[in-house]
Amino acid sequence: MADLRAMWRIRAFEEKTQALCGTGDIRGSVHLCIGQEAGPVGACGVLEGSDALFATYRGHGWAIARGTPLRPLMAELLGRSTGVNGGRGGSAYLSAPEYGFHGENSIVGAGAPIAVGAALAGRYDGTHRIALTVFGDGAMNQGSVHEAMNFAAATCLPVLFICENNRWSELTPIKDAVGSDILADRPRALGMTAVRIDGNDPDLVRRTIGDLAAAARTGGGPAFVELATQRLVGHYVGDPQQYRTREELAADREQEPIARAVRELTAAGVAAEEITAVEKNAREEVEQAAQAALADPLADSDSAREHVYA
């Protein structure tokens, strides 16, 4: 039930975000993680306070799973001064380092070398932190990702490279862009442990990444985890998805993590009312956060250039 609650908090947040994009309250580029909630819920449970997480622009769920409160997160998307970055970052660039969430990145694959830098810094600042970087399947064809993985392997850095393989590299099937769509085969050639697992099972994600994190903390070096999953919405809000068939989407809705969790809990004898209450409570929490954020003042445009440089 705990995993279902955590996944519903993310799903409800994303669906509210989509609705606020429709009303024009949220503007700019927005990428939702609806259907991919099991990855962040499973992985973030094994991270410690000093560990550093770097996500892509599809990172709302990772920020929530890492512990970022919903109201300032939604306020950031709404461009409010009370947002986690004062309304300057928006959906695609938000960060909340006080919760170990060191930011999204709209450059495909750019979070990987930054995560390597965070792990390298931890070797010298005494934290010995693990860095976890998340990217999509399309990023596996970026040179910066391979350079980051090779450097981490060569220097035995504690970095966990997490690839959310939803089968679509933006609007192109990953199978049409690579010779082998088993992406975990590539990091093995660099000398690191690499596995491909069911990314719709939060407990399996937790156990797998937990084992790899434990090894990394004791000198085992980096590892790669390919999460086989799917997104139930377009690449971006407004994407008409003309490249996907109804049959594919119907099959994905059968496999997505919340539908699976509900089936499993029902089979285990959990009452329908108890399961339904999880969704209701999540939607109420998100709605309260959204309404509070909507009432907050907009960010002052005169402050747009603040915090641009470190």
Question: Which tens digit of pLDDT belongs to each residue from 73-105?
Answer: 999 999 999 999 999 889 989 999 999 999 998
Confidence of residue 180 (pLDDT cuts 50, 70, 90): confident
Confidence of residue 182 (pLDDT cuts 50, 70, 90): confident
pLDDT for position 105: 86
Average pLDDT, the chain: 94
Indicate the pLDDT class of residue 237, thresholds 50, 70 and 90: very high
* Helical (H) or strand (E) element with 159: strand 159-165
Going by pLDDT thresholds of 50, 70 and 90, the confidence category of residue 201 is very high
Band of residue 310 on the pLDDT scale cut at 50, 70, 90? low
In sequence order, the β-bridge partners of residue 223 are: 160, 193
| pLDDT score at 153 | 96
* pLDDT at 191 (0 to 100): 92
Rounded Cα distance, 141 and 286, in Å: 36
pLDDT value at position 306? 80
| Structure-block tokens of residue 25 | 């309250």
Q: What is the pLDDT of residues 122-148, one digit of tens each?
A: 999 989 899 999 999 999 999 999 999
Main-chain dihedrals φ then ψ at residue 172, nearest 5 degrees: -115, 130
The answer to whether 91 touches 59, Cβ cutoff 8 Å, is no
Question: pTM of the entire structure?
Answer: 0.95
* pLDDT in the model for residue 279: 97
| DSSP state for residue 184 in the 8-state scheme | T
* Sole residue written with tokens 């971006």: 236
Q: What is the pLDDT of residue 270?
A: 96
pLDDT, mean of residues 162-187: 90
155, 192 contact by CB (below 8 A): no
Distance between CA atoms of residues 46 and 63, nearest Å? 15
Residue 284 CA to residue 290 CA, distance in Å, equals 10
What's the distance, CA 7 to chain centroid?
12
Least confident range from 114-123, 179-188, 289-298: namely 179-188
Question: Span 7-29, mean pLDDT?
Answer: 96
> Mean per-residue pLDDT for 1-25?
97
* Cα 294 from chain centre: 24
Q: Which of 139, 142, 93, 147 is nearest to 116 (CA)?
A: 147
CA atoms within 13 A on the CB side of 221: 16
Cβ contact 229:164 at 8 Å: yes
